[in-house]
């Protein structure tokens, strides 16, 4: 247990705080919540997050800043789409559309979240980029717990039990 480190196929439980390096604004944090548990090396986390935590022991805290290419990627202007407002008619019966609203489009490959960035009577402009795309991100991460993944977890590609999936 004590010689465990964060490595491929380990299950890591961490507390983390993510801030924007320029404004120091906290965009996400596990403080005051349950820590985050994930299977290392299975693309559950942004790539740079795992790379920077490799080799860390329980109780160790690391702080690092990731450029966008190691976090949520660069912004893709082709992921800004104009959608006829009539497509939103069923939704508008319940609530009015507003700029800044986050919605989920049902696409052929699955649900795709987007942000409404412009609104006219005819057209809704949706930004399908991740809200943190194009941004450098600073993380402060403390390792709370480490263990090896079970065969079943490795086969499924995610964590079972507390903090993970239940079947
Ligand atoms: Zn499973």
| Residue 92 confidence (pLDDT) above 70 | no
Equal CATH topology for 10-72+132-156 and 77-127: no
Q: How far is the CA of 7 from the centre of ligand 1 (A)?
A: 20
Burial class for 140, CB neighbours closer than 10 Å (0-12, 13-18, 19+): middle
Q: How far is the CA of 164 from the centre of ligand 1 (A)?
A: 9
Q: How far is the CA of 143 from the centre of ligand 1 (A)?
A: 23
| Residue 1 confidence (pLDDT) above 90 | no
Q: Note if the pTM is more than 0.85.
A: no
Question: Nearest 5 degrees, angle CA 132-CA 27-CA 60?
Answer: 105
Q: What is the CATH number of domain 10-72+132-156?
A: 3.10.50.40
**Domains in the chain: boundaries:** 10-72+132-156, 77-127
Q: How far is the CA of 157 from the centre of ligand 1 (A)?
A: 7
CB 34 within 8 A of CB 61: no
Q: How far is the CA of 38 from the centre of ligand 1 (A)?
A: 12
Strand pairing partners for 165?
160
C-alpha closest to that of 17 among 6, 4, 5, 33:
33
Second-level CATH architecture of 77-127: Beta Barrel (2.40)
Q: How far is the CA of 49 from the centre of ligand 1 (A)?
A: 23
Strand pairing partners for 14?
36, 143
Task: Give residue-wise pLDDT tens across range 17-51.
Answer: 999 999 999 999 999 999 999 999 998 999 999 99
Task: Give residue-wise pLDDT tens across range 99-153.
Answer: 999 998 888 888 889 999 999 999 999 999 998 999 999 999 999 999 999 999 9
Residue 122: count other Cβ atoms within 10 Å of its Cβ: 9
Q: How far is the CA of 85 from the centre of ligand 1 (A)?
A: 39
Q: How far is the CA of 147 from the centre of ligand 1 (A)?
A: 17
């Amino acid at each position: 247990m004590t010689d465990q480190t964060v490595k491929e196929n380990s299950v890591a439980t961490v507390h983390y705080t993510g801030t924007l390096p320029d404004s120091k604004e906290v965009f996400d944090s596990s403080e005051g919540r349950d820590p985050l548990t994930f299977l290392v090396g299975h693309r559950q986390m942004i790539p740079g997050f795992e790379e920077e935590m490799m080799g860390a022991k329980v109780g160790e805290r690391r702080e690092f800043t990731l450029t966008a290419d190691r976090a949520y990627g660069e912004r893709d202007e082709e992921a800004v789409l104009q959608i006829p407002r009539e497509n939103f008619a069923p939704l508008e019966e319940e609530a009015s559309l507003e700029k800044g609203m986050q919605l989920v489009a049902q696409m052929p490959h699955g649900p795709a979240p987007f942000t409404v960035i412009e609104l006219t009577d005819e057209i809704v402009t949706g930004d399908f980029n991740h809200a943190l795309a194009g941004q450098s991100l600073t993380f402060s991460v403390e390792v709370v717990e480490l263990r090896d993944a079970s065969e079943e977890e490795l086969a499924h590609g995610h964590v079972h039990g507390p903090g993970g999936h239940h079947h």
